[in-house]
Amino acid sequence: MFLIVYNPKAGHVQSQNLSDLTRKIKERNFQVKSIALTETDFYEQLMDNLTKTRWLISFGGDGTLNTLISYLSPLADEKLPVLIPYPSGTANDFSYQLYGGTPEIEQILTAVEREEYCYLDVGKVNDNYFINVLGAGIFVDVAYKTDSALKQRIGMWAYWFEAIKQIPNFKPITFFIDDGVNCQEIEGYLLLVLNGKGAGGFKSLAPESSLRDGKLDLVVIKESRTLLSLASLFPKILRGDHLDDHRVTYIQKNTFKIKLDNKTDSDVVCVVDGEKGPDFPLEVQVLNQKLPFLHCQY
């Protein structure tokens, strides 16, 4: 059976697209059921249907997928359906990495019939899970601070408007990072721990990353004299040529411990797949090949 979990509040979710998906699944002689993420008894419905579900579609953006990751990751492996991210939210970074683009419904269903899936890594930070990215610093809280109605009207542009509002408060943060071998104190504007290659529309933040290598990629954009002096770094980030730049710290490990200077950075928040995450200090680890996903290209 297919189970579709959809988020009516996601940026680009449209009832017609959901109807088309449901219809085409039925045309292939599969059973299908839908649950709205906003229903008060959503968790109970999800758990009740899990043992009957072979294919679980996340119909929304990265936030919708993160909700499912958080519910499924603590479960025993034998209970897990194959996850199918269907990109229909404001931000769809993970599905882009998984599929290498935006797949058509027919392509997804053909992969289902061929049983094309594999197990991918999941990140864990304290008691939270993430499939794509953990972040702290400038711009990382844009996703959950942006008005939902605005996201539905103008999509990714809503994120850019929220990001521009943060520029006057641009200040460095003192990160203390322990990767199990070295401990570093780094002054930086932005810290990201990535499971895959990209986030926030940047597709090559961690170009050496894989979704099933048992490692996480930590990237810190370090303090610079002025905002203008960082401007030349962004073309490098777009090309994926930034890892050896002196303005960037890059570490690839399976665990990290991250602390802040509580005197100066007590207001810094952690964001997990676009949603508010746990408080600092952080203990981050990778769960190697934890969850099954459709149509893996690795």
- Is 285 a residue whose pLDDT tops 60? yes
Q: Are strands 2-6 and 55-60 parallel, antiparallel or unpaired?
A: parallel
Residue for token pair 């399976």: 254
Residue 51: exposed, middle, or buried by beta-carbon count in 10 A (0-12, 13-18, 19+)?
A: exposed
- Is 153 a residue whose pLDDT tops 70? no
User: The pTM is what?
Assistant: 0.86
| CB-facing half-sphere around the CA of 192: CA atoms within 13 A | 28
Predicted pLDDT of residue 281: 95
Residue for token pair 């697209």: 17
- Dump pLDDT digits (tens) for 160-176: 444 445 555 677 889 99
Cβ contacts of 78 within 8 Å, gap of 6 or more:
none
DSSP string, 53-74: -SEEEEEE-HHHHHHHHHHHTT
CATH fold for the domain made of 2-121: Rossmann fold (3.40.50)
Predicted pLDDT of residue 232: 72
Enumerate the domain spans of the chain. Answer: 2-121, 129-287
Residue type, 191: L
Most confident of 104-113, 189-198, 277-286: 277-286
Contact 280, 137 (CB under 8 A): no
Predicted pLDDT of residue 158: 44
Report how far apart, in Å, the C-alpha atoms of 67 and of each of 73, 128, 273 are: 10, 10, 9
Q: How far apart are CA 287 and CA 280, in angstroms?
A: 20
- Dump pLDDT digits (tens) for 208-232: 889 999 999 999 988 776 666 777 7
What does the mean pLDDT of the chain come to?
Answer: 83
CATH 3.30.420.40, applies to 129-287 = no
Residue among 228, 99, 249 nearest 177 (CA): 249
DSSP string, 130-154: ESSEEEEETTTTHHHHS-HHHHHHH
- The mean per-residue pLDDT over the stretch 102-120 comes to 90
Of 1-5, 62-66, 173-177, 242-246, which range is least confident?
242-246
DSSP string, 252-294: EESEEEEEE-TTT-TT--EEETTEE-PPSSEEEEEEEEEEEEE
